[in-house]
Amino acid sequence: MRLSPSPRGPLLKPGAVGWAKRRRRVPTTSDRGGHGASRLSPPYGPLLAGMASVVSCLLISTLLAAEIPQNERRSGTAFMSRDTQAMQEDDRANPGMLAVLDGEALWNQAPAGAKACAGCHGDASSSMKGVAARYPAFAEARGRPIDLEQRINLCRTEHQHAPPLAWEARELLALTAYVANQSRGMPITAGMDERTRPFVEAGRSLYNRRQGQLDLSCAQCHDDNWGKRLAGSVIPQAHPTGYPEYRLEWQSIGSLQRRLRSCTFGVRAEQLPYGAPEQVDLELYLMWRARGMPLETPAVRP
């Protein structure tokens, strides 16, 4: 992994033209040996060529800022130390597996006066295969996408007549981890449904929007500076391939929404409340951005 020297000034200079060019050099019209406008006689030719190259730089850099090339995408696992990777790889050592175990017990436990999850869905290892990989998914009942936690609570309230589980409650994390674990190894397919398209785009805008006192967008760190270091930690690409995940910092398992809220806090922006539609839109965009990558739940992260 490349180490970059600690920046002496701000990590990124807002507004600087071509700051996204850091990763690859964008060819400009002048590189291509003076086609088109530069063939005009001076001063118009070179001037127009110059302007065109600046505009194309801006356009290309905006486009480049939008996505990491598919073949350069890496899960957060690739950015961790060997020891943390080993923690994730061994199911007997992965602390996230405790939540999966918990979830298995809850799956088979009937709430008062209703069926257990198993009562309708049977054996999760077959019925839940592939489910987490396509979440957040469009919910007819809500007219918009919902994430897996919301889906579980929807089942609880509508079909089990039980109160919804609180965000980040042990039981909700356990059930979500258990269900998501059934899709481990399967490629992420979220955001492929046409009905989710406008919400994916909404999520994309949020991802690219600068926010907070530090005035940073998700894209600036995770699209343009992944692999570099921020205060001793390597910046990952932010693919939510292993949620709910066991984060060493939290000393417990936690959801993607929790992670997004802590990122927001990190740039000193106002945190979105749990379950906010914008939060789910962002979740959806991130999962769509990670499409095709295998699910790893429960992941271990530093």
Q: Does 172 bind other proteins (CB under 8 A)?
A: no
> Is residue 20 within 8 Å of 224, Cβ to Cβ?
yes
Which 246-275 positions form the footprint of other proteins (CB under 8 A)?
248-252, 254, 258, 261-263, 265-267
Cα(298)–Cα(243) distance, integer angstroms = 6
Other C-beta atoms lying within 10 Å of the C-beta of residue 102: 18
**Binding track, positions 93-112, relative to other proteins; x by CB under 8 A:** x-x-xxx-xx--x-------
Q: How far is CA 291 from CA 43, 189, 222, 246, in A?
A: 49, 5, 16, 22
Shortest Cβ distance from residue 239 to other proteins (Å)? Answer: 17
Q: Spell out the residues 6+ positions from residue 20 whose beta carbon is closer than 8 angstroms to its own.
A: 61, 62, 64, 65, 224
Please, are residues 196 and 285 in contact by the beta-carbon 8 Å criterion? Answer: no
Catalytic annotation present for 263? yes
3-state SS, residue 285: helix
Tell me which residues in 64-83 interact with other proteins (CB under 8 A).
80-83
| Minimal distance, residue 24 CB to other proteins, in Å | 25
Binding mask 211-250 for other proteins (x = CB under 8 A): -------------------xxxx-x------------xxx
- Please state the closest distance from residue 97 (CB atom) to other proteins, in A: 6
Cβ nearer to other proteins, comparing 168 with 199: 168
The two tokens of residue 84 are: 């943390």
Which spans of this chain sit near other proteins (rule: CB under 8 A)?
80-84, 86-87, 92-93, 95, 97-99, 101-102, 105, 168, 230-233, 235, 248-252, 254, 258, 261-263, 265-267, 302
Please list the active-site residues. 263
